[in-house]
Structure 1
Amino acid sequence: MGEVFFGLTPGGRPVAVKLIHQVHATNPEFRRRFQSEIEAARKVNGLHTAGVVDADPAAEPPWMVTAFIAGPSLERALAEHGPFPDATLRVLGAGIAEALEAIHEAGLIHRDLKPSNILLGADGPRVIDFGIARATDASQATAMAGTPGFMSPEILTGESLTPAADIFAFGLVLAHAAGVRPFGEGPQPALSYRIVHQEPSLTGLEHGLGEIIGRCLAKDPAERPTPAELLQELAPPMLGGSWLPAPVQTMIDQQAPRMPSATPQNAADVDSEGPGLGTPAPAVPERVADVGPPNPGQDGPRNSPPARPRKPAPANPQRPREMAGPPATQRSRSGGLQGREWQFRVLSLLAIVVLVPSLAMLITGAAEGVQRVQGGCSLFAARANAAEAAGPTAPVRAACGESNSAAEILLGVLGLGIGVSLAVGARNRRRP
Structure 2
Amino acid sequence: MDLLEWVTSTASTLPVPLLWALGALFAFLENGLGLGFFVPGETIVVVLAAALSDPLSAVVMFAVVVVAGTAGDHVGYLLGRHFGTGLRDTKLIQRMGVDNWDRAVDVLRRRGAIAVFLTRLVPVIRTLTPATAGVARVRYPAFLFASLAGAATWAAVYVGAGYLLRSSLDAVRQSLGPVSSVLLIVALAAAVVFVVHRLVRKRVLARGADLSAESRAPRTPLSHRLFSEDEWRTWPNLITGIRMLLLPIFVWMITTRMLWGAIIVIGVVFLTDWLDGWLARKTKKVSALGTWLDPVADRITVFVTAGAFALGHLVPWETFVLLLIPDVLLGLAALLVFKGDPNVPVTIMGKIRTALIFVGLLGVLLGEALRGSVSDDLRWIVGLSFVLYLLGIIGHYIAASQYAKAMIAQTLAARDVTST
- Rg bigger for which structure? 1
Q: TM-score, normalised by structure 2?
A: 0.21
Q: TM-score, normalised by structure 1?
A: 0.20
Higher strand share: 1
Higher helix share: 2
